[in-house]
Amino acid sequence: MLKVLVMVSGGGTNLQAILDAVDSGKIANTEIIGVLSNNPNAYALERAKKHGIPALVLSPKSFATRAEFNEALTEKVSSMHPDLVVLAGCLVKIPEQMVQKFRNRIINIHPALIPSFCGVGYYGLKVHEAALKRGVKVTGATVHFVDEGTDSGPILMQKAVDVLPGDTPEILQRRVMEQAEWVILPETINRIARGEIRLGESEDRR
């Protein structure tokens, strides 16, 4: 059984796609062991509670320094012993010590076809605003392993989505979620659960 911890910051639409896929059997042999948010007001926490999944909050605002938060975050995640950490709309920069401890065990969903429109400053609607401003005809989403950089880890899955005449950032964002993000994130988790994508060894499992 693949034990998955999902990290969130907002509404949790990608979390919902994961939960629905587990319920329907599209993701096999997987248990969501917790949902962790840096934002105590994230609606994703309500989604977790409705599913009977532990909903946890760890906010940087509760700590005197970022270093203290980073240490607490790494300890909290480690204490749950996840096989896989999924960043599903998580806006927290994952600290290096956590990346190292869970090397190739943390995945992220990004709403563009990396290497386009990614890196520092590209998140949420900003990604789609940039894509429309550039005039691209195709965008999409990418699932990748998380490394010490921003959106720079090894790519696991991508799915393209057409940009249509009259698109606004909001309309494009919704289409990318429905046609790409909500498809490839659950599919990647299922491939990991089936052993088709291999995870790295975390330190506490060596």
User: Which active-site residues does the annotation give?
Assistant: 110
Q: Nearest 5°: CA angle at 85, between 185 and 197?
A: 60
Q: Positive or negative, the Cα torsion across 83, 48, 99, 117?
A: positive
Q: Burial level of 147, CB count in 10 A (0-12/13-18/19+)?
A: middle
Tell me how long the chain is.
206
Using CA atoms, how far apart are residues 129 and 205, in angstroms rounded to an integer? 42
Reference 190, options 16, 12, 21; nearest CA is 21
Q: Is 32 exposed, middle or buried (0-12, 13-18, 19+ CB in 10 A)?
A: buried
Asked if residue 118 lies in contact with residue 38, where contact means CB atoms within 8 angstroms, the answer is no
- The DSSP element (H or E) to which 7 belongs, if any, is strand 2-8
The Cα 108–Cα 85 span in angstroms is 9
